Structure 1
Amino acid sequence: MTTASYRNRSLLIEEGRWADLLALAADGDETVPGERRELAHLLAVQAPPAVAVAAAELYPDEEVGFPGPLWEVLAQRPWRDLAPHLTHPRVREMVAQTRVLHGEDLRGVLTAEIPLVLQPWESAHWDPEWDIPEYHSTGSAGSQMWCFPGWLIEHLPGGVPLPEPVAIEAVDHPAVPVLAGLNDPHRPIRAYAFRATAWATAATIAADRQTCRAAEVPFARAYPHLLHLATGFGPYAVAEGGGQATGRLAVWRVLRLMAGGDPVPAFVARLRCVTWRRPGEHLCYLYLAMEDPAQGLTWAISASADD
């Protein structure tokens, strides 16, 4: 941004000329679209609700962008402040889902395909102050890493070596490609479905099986990391993935496929999960086998990205 345009913007902010700033964001110099996007971000953070919403709706279909999708920036504010001004269906949906991740209960306020309140297994280990970026006028703070089981494996009772692998039957299941597509396809993410237990699956797919440590975990423990994985974040990422609401929608989509028509909460409640970790693992990784005893199936994901 040029010195002159920066000074002009600063004067407009000091004078509270939000409508003029919005006009610049909407109809500014076409040769510097990045400046217009930066200004829309600033308005989404600082401007009164009506102007903030209008700025965010200049980019209604944005899924990825630094320092974050504008609907996620906007959703730092309570739903009641934003709702009267939201006119674009996509922005409204994503703001609502983000507010749910902030802990708001929007049941009865509007309708959506995905529940508008966090389920107990979602909220058990989800921390909005840590798991959602904090946005300020020039950028963001926070880093949403997927790192499971991370340090947790050393603090779980029953951490043991993986058993010897046995022959198990692979299954062509529609959830597998969706699991595999939860993150950037250029990163090494592998997904599987087997007619087997979670322990047998883990023993089959784990690299360095002889040195791994493994343990059973509640699905709720892994949920925040699956959500972050599904946003597209990678190593060292700040808020340049697809936003946390994008991750929640993607995780619910894959859970519905895995549940095979059963309600997702009931399906999650009966899952038996096994996680494992290789020695010296660092940065982004997620190893999880999810067994549904009712169907006799286990789905697994093995994801790792170092740079």
Structure 2
Amino acid sequence: MDEPHGPDERLDMLVHRGDLDGLVRMIDDRCSSRDWAGLLRLRDRARQAVDTGRQLWPAATLAEYRLALLATPEFVAEVLDEADGLSGRFTIGPLTEVAAQRHSWGDLGPLLERGPRAAFVAHERVIRGEPVDDLDLPDVLDIPLLLHSWEPTYELAVYGDNDAEFPMPELPDDWSDVEVTADAEVLDDDVELAVRQLLEPWTTSSNGRAEVVCVDGDAGAAIGALGVRRARMAELSAQEAIAWIAWAGASGGAHGRRRGAASGRFGAWWLLAAFGDLLDDWPPDPDELGELADDLRWYRWNAYEPDVGWTLQLAIEDPEEGVAWAITAQDTH
């Protein structure tokens, strides 16, 4: 097998011609033959072609995506190089998440520089159930490299050779009418900012919108404060609600950049801490956060409209404090 930066006349010819179709066929061939050195060489030369005015970024992006998904660990480490600020910029999901789908931390960890990308891979592997005990990783998220008993089974992306699926958690649909009121006192807190950070790709890089309100009252009062006059709710467990929040935080919505399951889990922890007014003590005590999640009452709601596109419509009650929140966020093609 040729070295990654050795001669490759056929590749050079396709790059010289700017032949994207030919390069895609070559990517497929090199994946089939497991020629990872040749695929890395294709990625590098397609990327370098921009210096001569050839726009071959789609080929470079596909090549590094396939390397992260399919290649042996040493080549996965090449595309996760901390010094390479370009890799993964245009892939359909973060390469740290793509790589974590099929590669264990035990295989990848020893090959990765102890930087942010390695830390994200570790968090992705933890979400997939692999124990990670590495004290040298930076605290990129400030949440434990350990799943706690109160956390859900997080929904994971499913990456294929040319596409990906980002399934939404299954949620109960035993709907009940809710009494909606419109005269509750609206309160200020940190939850609005936490929701906007959670859903930033939906609202800044796509067509989405998000609203959140906190009121002195119950879930019906919070929903009414959003301007809704008729609604229904279905009760959720804390784990179901957290899984839904994490799915939303991992997603890029219809057109935004996906952030990955690790970021979604962080977003769920951050929002949960905001409900409990625990952000000033970040990172929170996991046991305290779990107790808070169980003490809150969680509901999905809608105004009898069908769910389309990307949706997060939650109502949350804090019985001890007598306050409630309603969140509505939607993004469509």
TM-score, with length taken from structure 1 = 0.80
Equivalent position of 1:178 in the other structure: 194
Q: Does 1:2 align with 2:25?
A: no
Conserved? CA contact 2:234–2:299, under 8 Å:
yes
Q: Aligned-pair distance for 1:279?
A: 2.3
**1:86-97 map, 5 Å:** 86-87=112-113, 89-97=115-123
Aligned residues: 289
**1:262-301 map, 5 Å:** 263-283=288-308, 284-301=310-327
Equivalent position of 2:167 in the other structure: 144
Give 1:227's match in structure 2, choosing from 246, 258, 267.
246
Q: Does 1:248 align with 2:273?
A: no
Please tell me the residue identity of whatever aligns with 2:134: V
Q: Distance in 1 between matches of 2:28 and 2:182?
A: 66
Please tell me the residue identity of whatever aligns with 2:235: E
Cα pair distance change 1:273/1:24, threshold 3 Å = same
Give 1:153's match in structure 2, choosing from 170, 173, 176.
173
Q: Distance in 1 between matches of 2:214 and 2:194?
A: 12
Equivalent position of 2:36 in the other structure: 18
Give 2:150's match in structure 1, choosing from 110, 121, 137.
121
Conserved? CA contact 1:133–1:140, under 8 Å:
no
Give 1:105's match in structure 2, choosing from 131, 135, 138.
131
**1:184-195 map, 5 Å:** 184-185=202-203, 186-195=207-216
Q: Aligned-pair distance for 1:240?
A: 5.6
Q: C-alpha root-mean-square deviation of aligned residues, in Å?
A: 3.0
Equivalent position of 2:9 in the other structure: none
Q: Distance in 2 between matches of 1:289 and 1:62?
A: 39
Mean CA deviation greater in 247-256 or 32-41? 247-256
Q: Aligned-pair distance for 1:173?
A: 1.1
Q: Distance in 2 between matches of 1:303 and 1:146?
A: 16
Mean CA deviation greater in 109-118 or 29-38? 109-118
Q: Does 1:50 align with 2:69?
A: no
Q: Distance in 2 between matches of 1:117 and 1:63?
A: 26
Q: Give the secondary structure class of the aligned counterpart of 1:121.
A: coil
Q: Quick check: which has more Rg, 1 or 2? A: 2
Conserved? CA contact 2:80–2:95, under 8 Å:
yes
Q: Does 1:74 align with 2:99?
A: yes
Cα pair distance change 1:5/1:304, threshold 3 Å = closer
Mean CA deviation greater in 48-57 or 72-81? 48-57
Cα pair distance change 1:11/1:218, threshold 3 Å = closer
Q: Give the secondary structure class of the aligned counterpart of 2:98.
A: helix
Give 1:196's match in structure 2, choosing from 195, 204, 217.
217
Conserved? CA contact 1:64–1:243, under 8 Å:
no
Conserved? CA contact 2:64–2:88, under 8 Å:
no
Q: Give the secondary structure class of the aligned counterpart of 2:213.
A: strand
Q: Aligned-pair distance for 1:89?
A: 1.4
What is the percent sequence identity of the aligned residues? 24
Q: Distance in 2 between matches of 1:57 and 1:215?
A: 45
Q: Aligned-pair distance for 1:287?
A: 1.8
Equivalent position of 2:181 in the other structure: 165
Conserved? CA contact 1:63–1:242, under 8 Å:
no
Q: Give the secondary structure class of the aligned counterpart of 1:247.
A: helix
**Higher relative contact order, structure no. (Cα contacts within 8 Å, ≥ 6 residues apart):** 1
Equivalent position of 1:132 in the other structure: 156
Equivalent position of 1:33 in the other structure: 57
Conserved? CA contact 1:49–1:81, under 8 Å:
yes
Q: Distance in 1 between matches of 2:251 and 2:228?
A: 23
Deviations 1:240-291, CA, capped at 9 Å, x for gaps: 6222222112222222233223632222121122332332412232221222
Conserved? CA contact 1:40–1:56, under 8 Å:
no
Deviations 1:109-157, CA, capped at 9 Å, x for gaps: 346411222233322xx36xxx222223x3234233478x5xx222xxx
Please tell me the residue identity of whatever aligns with 1:153: D
Conserved? CA contact 2:40–2:67, under 8 Å:
yes
Q: Distance in 2 between matches of 1:224 and 1:168?
A: 29
Q: Give the secondary structure class of the aligned counterpart of 1:52.
A: helix
Q: Give the secondary structure class of the aligned counterpart of 1:161.
A: strand
